[in-house]
C-alpha cells in the first residue's frame, strides 16, 4: 500500500474534486466518520458544514488533509475491507476523532481511495502536520500492511508507482465513452501534467500533452476564441489530428484557461532555469558516442536519461524546431532556450560535423605542415651537446600529429566519469582538483 498525505488550505477544492468524480460515476462515497448522519444520508451541505465547524475554531491556514491510499492492481478489496483499512489507518495516524470522508475511485489502473478530513480538533487545537507523510503516515502504513496482509511497498516500489502516476496516465482514445468520458479522460491527463511540469508557453505544454493524445488550442488565428483569449482541449487520433468535440477549458473542473496558464508560464520560466545544464550535458555526452550519427540515434540516447527529444517538422519532413522534455526533472525547453548549439539547425550541423570528422582525415594544420616543413633547428650550445637535437631532426611525432581518433573506451563516455559530466563545468573542475 502506498499512502500519500497532502496538507492543503482549501477544503472546498478537495471536496469538490471528489464530488465531481462521483457525478461522473468514476467514484463513490463508501465511508464517513464523526458525522451526525449515516454515510448514505449525507448531503453536500452536511459534508462541508460539519468539517467547516471544526476549521472555524482555528485561524490556521493549512486546515485540510487530502489523503490517498493506493493498492497494486492485483489487490481488489471489497467495500467493507476498504472501510476497515481506512479506519485503522486514521486511528494510527491520530485522526480517528476527526470528521472524515472516504471515496473509492475507479478512474485509474490501480485501486485507490481518497480521504478528506481536517487537522483542527474539536477543542480548536491543531494536529501537527509537519513531516506527517514521512513519519506518522509511514508508521501507520507499515502497521496496516502487517495487520491486513497487504502488499508491502518498499522505497523502490513506491517510487515506481508515483512516477507512473505522474508521467504516464492512461492514454485516451476518443469515442469509447462519449463526450463525458472524453472530458473525464482529458481532466485526468491535465491533473497530472499541468501542475507537475514546468513549461513556459502553450507549444511547450502541448509537447507534453501530445504524449497522451491531448492538445490545447485557441482555434484559428482570427477565431472568436483566439480574439477573446479562450482555450480548448481536444483529443488527437493516431495520426496526430484533432478529433471529436473540443472541450472548453472553462468546462473542466480545474479551469485551466489561458488566464490561469499565463502567470504559470512566467513562474515556470524562472523555476526551470537550474535544470538546463542537465539536458545540455546529456546532449553533449550523447554526441561523444561513435554511433550517434543521426537525430534518431540522439533521441534513443537521450531516452535513456529520461529526456524526450520532440521534433517539429513541416509536411516535407524538414526539421524546423526541437523541444526537450526532461521527464525526470519535469521541465520543458525549446531548443534555442538552451543555447544556439542545441537549436534545431545547430544540432543537425553538429551531428553532421561529427559524422564527417570521425574518420581519420588529415587536418588543415597537417596539410600545411606537409607543404611547408619546419625549418632546421640550430645546434644547441656546447654544454648541451649530450642532449642536443640533430639539425636534421623534425620536431614532430606521429603521436602528436596523427588525427585524434575516437576512443570508445574513454572514461568520460561510458566509464565512471560519465555521471560527472552531468554536473556543471565549475563543479567538475573542483571535483577533479580534489582527486
CB-based contact 327:303 (threshold 8 Å): no
Q: Are residues 325 and 286 in the same domain?
A: yes
* Size of the chain, expressed as the number of residues it contains: 435
- Surface-to-core class of residue 367, CB atoms within 10 Å of its CB (0-12 exposed, 13-18 middle, 19+ buried): exposed
pLDDT of residue 427: 54
Q: Are residues 142 and 215 in the same domain?
A: no
Q: Does any domain span residue 36?
A: yes
pLDDT of residue 419: 55
Q: Are residues 9 and 147 in the same domain?
A: yes
Distance CA 257, CA 140 (A): 39
Give the rounded distance of the alpha carbon of 165 from its chain centre: 10
Q: Are residues 71 and 7 in the same domain?
A: yes
- Tell me which residue of 121, 229, 248 sits closest to 183, measured CA to CA: 248
Could you read off the pLDDT of 276-324 as tens digits, one per residue? Answer: 999 999 999 999 888 888 899 999 999 999 999 999 888 888 889 999 9
Distance CA 358, CA 291 (A): 10
Q: What separation in angstroms does the CA of 69 have from each of 74, 78, 98, 398?
A: 15, 14, 18, 68
For residue 210, give the 3-state DSSP assignment.
helix
Q: Are residues 182 and 46 in the same domain?
A: no
pLDDT of residue 244: 79
Rounded to 5 degrees, what are φ and ψ at 247?
-100, 120
Q: What separation in angstroms does the CA of 239 have from each of 213, 235, 366?
A: 10, 11, 52
> Could you tell me the pLDDT band of residue 228, with boundaries at 50, 70 and 90?
confident
Please check the confidence at residue 393 and state whether its pLDDT lies above 90.
no
Q: Are residues 304 and 257 in the same domain?
A: no
What string of DSSP letters covers 270-323? HHTGGGHHHHHHHHHHHHTSTT--SHHHHHHHHHTTTEEEEEEE-TT--EEEEE
Distance CA 156, CA 152 (A): 11
For residue 145, give the 3-state DSSP assignment.
helix
Q: Are residues 7 and 143 in the same domain?
A: yes
Residue 63 sits in a domain of what CATH number? 3.30.930.30
- Surface-to-core class of residue 284, CB atoms within 10 Å of its CB (0-12 exposed, 13-18 middle, 19+ buried): middle
pLDDT of residue 406: 34
pLDDT of residue 83: 97
Sign of the torsion formed by the C-alpha atoms of 357, 358, 359 and 364 = positive
The secondary structure of 245-263, three-state, reads EEEEHHHCCCCCCHHHHHH
Mean pLDDT of 46-67: 95
Q: Which three cell numbers stand for residue 25?
A: 460515476
pLDDT of residue 32: 97
- What is the domain extent for residue 290? 274-357
Please check the confidence at residue 167 and state whether its pLDDT lies above 70.
no
Sign of the torsion formed by the C-alpha atoms of 28, 34, 40 and 43 = negative
Give the rounded distance of the alpha carbon of 320 from its chain centre: 25
Please check the confidence at residue 388 and state whether its pLDDT lies above 50.
no
Tell me the pLDDT of the chain averaged across its residues.
79
Q: Are residues 210 and 334 in the same domain?
A: no
Number of domains in the chain: 3
| Final residue before a domain boundary, out of 221, 244, 268 | 268
Q: Does any domain span residue 58?
A: yes
Q: Are residues 43 and 21 in the same domain?
A: yes
Q: Which residue is listed with cell 485503522?
A: 88
Mean pLDDT of 317-334: 93
CB-based contact 428:420 (threshold 8 Å): yes
Q: Are residues 102 and 9 in the same domain?
A: yes
| Final residue before a domain boundary, out of 325, 357, 389 | 357
Specify whether the backbone of 209 is left (phi greater than 0), alpha (psi in -120 to 50) or beta. alpha
Distance CA 288, CA 293 (A): 10
Q: Are strands 112-117 and 100-105 parallel, antiparallel or unpaired?
A: antiparallel
Amino acid at each position: 500500500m502506498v499512502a500519500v498525505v497532502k496538507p492543503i488550505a482549501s477544503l472546498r477544492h478537495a471536496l469538490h474534486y471528489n464530488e465531481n468524480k462521483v457525478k461522473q460515476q468514476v467514484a463513490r462515497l463508501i465511508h464517513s466518520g464523526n458525522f451526525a448522519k449515516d454515510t448514505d444520508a449525507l448531503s453536500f451541505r452536511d459534508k462541508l458544514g460539519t468539517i467547516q465547524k471544526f476549521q472555524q475554531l482555528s485561524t490556521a491556514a493549512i486546515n485540510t488533509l487530502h489523503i490517498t491510499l493506493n493498492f497494486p492492481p492485483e489487490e481488489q478489496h471489497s467495500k467493507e475491507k476498504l472501510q476497515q483499512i481506512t479506519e485503522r489507518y486514521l486511528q494510527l495516524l491520530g485522526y480517528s476523532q476527526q470528521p472524515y470522508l472516504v471515496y473509492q475511485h475507479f478512474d485509474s489502473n490501480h485501486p485507490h481511495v481518497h480521504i478528506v478530513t481536517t487537522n483542527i480538533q474539536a477543542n480548536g487545537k491543531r494536529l501537527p502536520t509537519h513531516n506527517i507523510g514521512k513519519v506518522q503516515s509511514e508508521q501507520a502504513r507499515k502497521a496496516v500492511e502487517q495487520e491486513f496482509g497487504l502488499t508491502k511497498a518498499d522505497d523502490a516500489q513506491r517510487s515506481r508507482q508515483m512516477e507512473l502516476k505522474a508521467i504516464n496516465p492512461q492514454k485516451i482514445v476518443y469515442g469509447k465513452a462519449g463526450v463525458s468520458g472524453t472530458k473525464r479522460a482529458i481532466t485526468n491527463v491535465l491533473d497530472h501534467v499541468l501542475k507537475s511540469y514546468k513549461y513556459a508557453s502553450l507549444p511547450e505544454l502541448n509537447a507534453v500533452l501530445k504524449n497522451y493524445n491531448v492538445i490545447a488550442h485557441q482555434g484559428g488565428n482570427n477565431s472568436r476564441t483566439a480574439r477573446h483569449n479562450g482555450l480548448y482541449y481536444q483529443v488527437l487520433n493516431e495520426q496526430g489530428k484533432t478529433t471529436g468535440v473540443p472541450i472548453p477549458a472553462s468546462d473542466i473542473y480545474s479551469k485551466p484557461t489561458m488566464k490561469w496558464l499565463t502567470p504559470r508560464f512566467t513562474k515556470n520560466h524562472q523555476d526551470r532555469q537550474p535544470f538546463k545544464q542537465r539536458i545540455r550535458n546529456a546532449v553533449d555526452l550523447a554526441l561523444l558516442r561513435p554511433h550517434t550519427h543521426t537525430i534518431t540515434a540522439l533521441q534513443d540516447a537521450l531516452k535513456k536519461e529520461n529526456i524526450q527529444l520532440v521534433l517539429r517538422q513541416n509536411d516535407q519532413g524538414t526539421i524546423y524546431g526541437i523541444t526537450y522534455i526532461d521527464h525526470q526533472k519535469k521541465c520543458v525547453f525549446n531548443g534555442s532556450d538552451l543555447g544556439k548549439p542545441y537549436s534545431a539547425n545547430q544540432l543537425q550541423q553538429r551531428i553532421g560535423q561529427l559524422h564527417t570528422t570521425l574518420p581519420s582525415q588529415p587536418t588543415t594544420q597537417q596539410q600545411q605542415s606537409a607543404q611547408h616543413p619546419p625549418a632546421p633547428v640550430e645546434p644547441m650550445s656546447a654544454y648541451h651537446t649530450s642532449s642536443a637535437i640533430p639539425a636534421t631532426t623534425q620536431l614532430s611525432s606521429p603521436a602528436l600529429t596523427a588525427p585524434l581518433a575516437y576512443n570508445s573506451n574513454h572514461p568520460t563516455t561510458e566509464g565512471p566519469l560519465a555521471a560527472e559530466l552531468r554536473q556543471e563545468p565549475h563543479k567538475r573542475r573542483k571535483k577533479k582538483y580534489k582527486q
